Amino acid sequence: MTTLEITRFRVSPEHTTDLLTARGAMIADFEADREGFLSARLVELPGGEWLDIVEWRSPADFAASRAKGGNLPGIQAFFAAIDELLSSEEGTLH
């Protein structure tokens, strides 16, 4: 079953452009370096909050990705634009 990574974070208005600019490179890095990466959706919420919903082929693929962290420049740039991590959850898509 597909594993979902659901991350809620806050981005200040002055970093929003940085976040959106870095998104493409982050996705490219995931496609090149993360086994089991299926897709990602970025959702802007009111008040400077965002949801990143990432689909993984399996819990093991998600765990392997998490262990790598921000190992590539595109991923690092996306993470750098985030001002505050609010929550991170893992679930199963049915």
Walk along the chain (94 residues) and give the pLDDT tens digit of each residue: 899 999 999 999 999 999 999 999 999 999 999 999 999 999 999 999 999 999 999 999 999 999 999 999 999 999 999 999 999 999 999 9
Cα 1 from Cα 50, distance rounded (Å): 25
Backbone conformation region of residue 69, classed left if phi is above 0, alpha if psi is from -120 to 50, else beta: left
Task: Please count the residues of the chain.
Answer: 94
Domains of the chain: 3-92 (3.30.70.100)
